[in-house]
Amino acid sequence: MEYEISLLTTMAISVLFALSLNLITGFCGQISLGHAAFLGIGAYLSALLSKAGLPFLATLPLGMLLAGIIGAIVGLASLRVRADFLAITTMGVGFLFVGIVRQQDWLGGELGVSAIPDSGLSKVGFMVFSLLLCVATAALCIYIRKSWMGRVFNGVAEDEDTMRVLGIDVPRYKLAAFAIGTALAGLAGGLYAQHLKFIGPDSFGFVESVTVLSMVVVGGIGSVVGVSLGAAVLSALPAWFQFIGDYKLLVYGGLLFLMMRFSPGGMAALVTRLVKRNGGRA
């Protein structure tokens, strides 16, 4: 039972993290290859503040705030660069974060931060708390998607120049997407640190950024339900099939290829087609 509880907690955190990237990439069309850095910012701040004696529940909003502020600063880069150049810029941010953490002893250096104080919740309680935050994040994303802001995000993703002609303040909305998305990543980071009780620089490198991007693409870019499903499945695969652990990137890469070849819309489009087909037969 303890294993299942841990797995469900991991899946909830992964879904929350994937939804945070989907808000930036799926909603607003901005490619980020360094998103794991913001997961790390939330994780390190939460871990260090917890070790300093601050209650766990108080560290989460502070981690969100710091990740969101730094995300907004990084988002300034999105005002001048597009597409491939933006991806390279965010990738550089990811490498910079890992490099800084490795060199700073007060951040644990290569050894990371261990013995993170308990949250005060039971394992079941922490799992339920993580699931509730995951559901709340999904609800927020759906609300944003259907709001005026979501419509502008979609317009920016489709054609920035047209949105500017229509009088939309494109930089303002691009910054908003980065700030909200990275803040949510910081929230996931706080949960991640508390769940594992240990964090290190290797947990927030380029591989993790590519992994979460894979979850978004496999689930269906822009789809809240699809991304949630993709993140849940991909985060559980190494647990369901233990041999995948050593070949995770190979398996994820294969899934990406198959999805792009047979279902470019990801799991969301695949499920929709299956439902329509079965409905047609009925």
How does pLDDT run across 182-238, given as a tens digit for each residue? 999 999 999 999 999 999 998 899 989 988 998 999 898 999 999 999 999 888 887
Looking at 55-69, 158-172, 230-244, 262-276, which range is the least confident one?
262-276
pLDDT above 80: residue 102:
yes
pLDDT above 80: residue 143:
yes
252 compared with 176, residue with greater pLDDT? 176
What tokens appear for 157 in the block? 């993703």
pLDDT for the residue numbered 6: 92
Closest CA to 208 of 70, 78, 45, 21: 21
pLDDT above 70: residue 83:
no
Q: How confident is the model at residue 281 (pLDDT cuts 50, 70, 90)?
A: very low
How does pLDDT run across 116-142, given as a tens digit for each residue? 998 888 999 999 999 999 999 999 999
What tokens appear for 113 in the block? 């931060």
What CATH number has the domain bearing residue 162?
Answer: 1.10.3470
pTM recorded for the entire structure: 0.91
Cβ atoms of residues 50 and 56 within 8 Å: yes
What tokens appear for 259 in the block? 């999805």
What does the chain look like in DSSP terms, one character per residue?
-HHHHHHHHHHHHHHHHHHHHHIIIIIT----S-THHHHHHHHHHHHHHHHTT--HHHHHHHHHHHHHHHHHHHHGGGGT--HHHHHHHHHHHHHHHHHHHHH-GGGTGGG-B--PPP-SS-HHHHHHHHHHHHHHHHHHHHHHHHSHHHHHHHHHHH-HHHHHHTT--HHHHHHHHHHHHHHHHHHHHHHHHHHHS-B-GGGGSHHHHHHHHHHHHHH-TT-HHHHHHHHHHHHHHHHHSGGGGGGHHHHHHHHHHHHHHH-TTHHHHHHHHHHHHHHHH-
pLDDT above 80: residue 240:
no
Percent of the chain with pLDDT over 90: 55
Neighbour-count burial of 128, counting CB atoms closer than 10 A to its CB (0-12 exposed, 13-18 middle, 19+ buried): middle
CA distances from 184 to 6, 57, 72, 139, 169 (A): 21, 15, 13, 13, 23
Q: Find the largest Cα–Cα distance for the chain.
A: 64
How does pLDDT run across 144-163, given as a tens digit for each residue? 999 999 999 999 888 888 89
Interval 90-98 mean pLDDT: 92
Looking at 84-93, 144-153, 168-177, which range is the least confident one?
84-93
pLDDT for the residue numbered 272: 75
Closest CA to 252 of 211, 221, 216, 209: 211
Q: How confident is the model at residue 246 (pLDDT cuts 50, 70, 90)?
A: low
Q: Which domain holds residue 239?
A: 2-281
Interval 24-48 mean pLDDT: 93
Percent of the chain with pLDDT over 70: 92
Average model confidence (pLDDT) across the chain: 88
What tokens appear for 38 in the block? 């913001």
For the chain, the domain total comes to 1
